[in-house]
């Protein structure tokens, strides 16, 4: 029971963190009240454009799942109309806004006056904290003279019941400042500065909607047991192969998320295919290790494998079978007695001995020696 009660308390405490924050944006002046004028511009038009851009960024931030926060956005005016100061504060209070952010531009009789400044009703508290962040981000965005974080008894700061700040973009009466106020690109940067300020105020990392990466990359090296392979080729998903860089390195960028296959090839090596999974905004690192192919052993080919070495030379009929035979002088050779048929002992004819060539002559000679040895043994 105690465990269930604790879970309920945690859920109730965590719920506000997931809720949308209601931001009321207040474009200064409007209608018959042009605000400051100078350099062919009126303040009411400049600040309405910046506020509309700020609103669009907050809406996009809510829709972007890649980062940022969740917002509900209201404007005290969204067209060229006059709204009293009291009506602006009452509107924000009635809507239960979490924060009130007012945008103006300065003007002064001396055109040399320049720079940017931001106000809160009092020092301390969330209003002053938000003021400080807006000033910091605008200095980063436009690089103007820092006129500081200030306090003022402005009605929209005094009468609003939620933390509030009022920012003066620049001096419309100063030529240098006016160039920023007139620029679409710089107006967009001012809107982004306000977005980053409110994100940081609620402990959300500064994030520009739509900036989440949609592709990834894969990088690696092609090596073998000896190190990087010069001249290796790599390809992704069967596309045209590219040569690796110095040290065997390669990279494929702008790769859609998902599963892919990298193939590496090199002369005298077995090719390798390696699967790789790509995550948006990340670079997958891989190593392609190729196996060298062992060269075949060198065998001297026969220049004419079909050629015949030719017939053996015919034996010489007049050759002495003892020619070329080295007889051991220690042997007491005796004539070999004739066999019953008048040939050599052992039943072999002399003609047969001669027809075998020198090789057979050696055999018969040895047989004759053996027969003589046996004869002596019997007579002994």
User: What pLDDT digit, counting tens, does each position of 62-72 carry?
Assistant: 998 878 899 99
Q: Where are the alpha helices (DSSP H) in 271-356?
A: 350-355
Which residues are CB-neighbours of 192 under 8 A, at least 6 positions away? 57, 141, 208
For residues 185 and 338, give the distance between their C-alpha atoms in angstroms, rounded to a whole number.
130
Between 16 and 28, whose confidence is greater?
A: 28
Domains of the chain, with CATH numbers? Answer: 18-201 (3.40.630.40), 216-292 (2.60.40.1120), 315-380 (no CATH)
Residue 329: which H helix or E strand, with range?
A: none
334 in active site: no
Minimum mean pLDDT range among 9-23, 262-276, 318-332 = 318-332
Phi and psi of 94, rounded to 5°?
A: -65, -30
For residues 249 and 65, give the distance between their C-alpha atoms in angstroms, rounded to a whole number.
35
Residue 299 pLDDT: 56
Mean pLDDT of 121-136: 98
> Catalytic residue among 168, 287, 300, 334, which?
168
For the whole model, what pTM was predicted? 0.59
Given a cut of 80, is residue 90 above it in pLDDT? yes
pLDDT band at 379 (very low <50, low <70, confident <90, very high): very low
Residue 246 pLDDT: 74
How far is residue 90 from each of residues 76, 158, 220, measured CA to CA in Å?
10, 11, 61
Given a cut of 80, is residue 215 above it in pLDDT? yes
**Is residue 215 classed as helix, strand or coil in its secondary structure?**
coil
Residue 312 pLDDT: 58
| The two structure tokens encoding residue 363 | 């055999």
| The two structure tokens encoding residue 136 | 């910091």
Residue 372 pLDDT: 59
pLDDT band at 235 (very low <50, low <70, confident <90, very high): very high
Mean pLDDT of 75-82: 98
- Count CB neighbours of 117 within 10 A: 21
- CB-based burial of residue 348 (10 Å sphere; 0-12 exposed, 13-18 middle, 19+ buried)? middle
CA 91 to chain centre: 50
Which of the given ranges, 7-21, 182-196, 350-364, has the highest pLDDT on average?
Answer: 182-196
Model pLDDT for residues 150-182, shown as the tens digit of each residue: 999 999 999 999 999 999 999 999 999 999 999
Residue 233: closest CA among 286, 284, 290: 290
Residue 105: closest CA among 48, 165, 185, 31: 48
Between 377 and 84, whose confidence is greater?
A: 84
């Amino acid at each position: 029971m105690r465990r269930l009660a604790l879970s309920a308390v945690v859920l109730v405490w965590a719920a506000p963190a997931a809720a949308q924050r209601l931001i009321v944006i207040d474009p200064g002046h409007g209608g018959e009240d042009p605000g400051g004028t100078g350099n062919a511009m009126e303040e009411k038009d400049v600040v309405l454009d910046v506020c509309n851009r700020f609103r669009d960024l907050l809406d996009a931030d809510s829709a972007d799942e890649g980062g940022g926060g969740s917002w509900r956005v209201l404007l005290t005016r969204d067209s060229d109309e006059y709204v009293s100061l009291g009506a602006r504060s009452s509107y924000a209070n009635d809507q239960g806004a979490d924060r009130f952010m007012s945008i103006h531009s300065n003007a002064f009789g001396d055109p040399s006056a320049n720079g940017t400044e931001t106000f809160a009703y009092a020092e301390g508290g969330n209003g002053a904290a938000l003021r400080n962040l807006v000033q910091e981000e605008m200095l980063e965005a436009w690089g103007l003279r820092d006129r500081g974080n200030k306090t003022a008894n402005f009605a929209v700061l005094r009468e609003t019941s939620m933390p509030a700040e009022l920012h003066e973009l620049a001096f419309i009466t100063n030529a240098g400042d006016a160039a920023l106020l007139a620029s679409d690109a710089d107006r967009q940067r001012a809107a982004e500065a306000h977005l980053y300020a409110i994100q940081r105020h609620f402990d959300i990392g500064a994030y520009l909607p739509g900036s989440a990466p949609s592709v990834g990359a894969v990088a690696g090296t092609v090596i073998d047991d000896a190190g990087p392979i010069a001249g290796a080729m790599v390809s992704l998903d069967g596309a045209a192969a590219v040569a690796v860089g110095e040290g065997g390195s390669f990279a494929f960028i702008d790769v859609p998320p998902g599963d892919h296959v990298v193939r590496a090839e090199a002369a005298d090596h077995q090719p390798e295919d390696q699967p790789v999974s790509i995550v948006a905004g990340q670079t997958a690192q891989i190593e392609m290790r190729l196996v060298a192919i062992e060269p075949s052993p060198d065998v001297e080919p026969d220049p004419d494998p079909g050629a015949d070495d030719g017939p053996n030379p015919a034996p010489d009929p007049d050759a002495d079978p003892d020619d070329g035979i080295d007889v051991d002088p220690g042997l007491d050779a005796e004539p070999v007695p004739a066999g019953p048929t008048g040939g050599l002992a052992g039943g072999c004819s002399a003609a047969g001995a001669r027809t075998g060539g020198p090789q057979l002559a050696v055999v018969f000679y040895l047989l004759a020696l053996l027969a003589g040895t046996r004869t002596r043994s019997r007579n002994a």
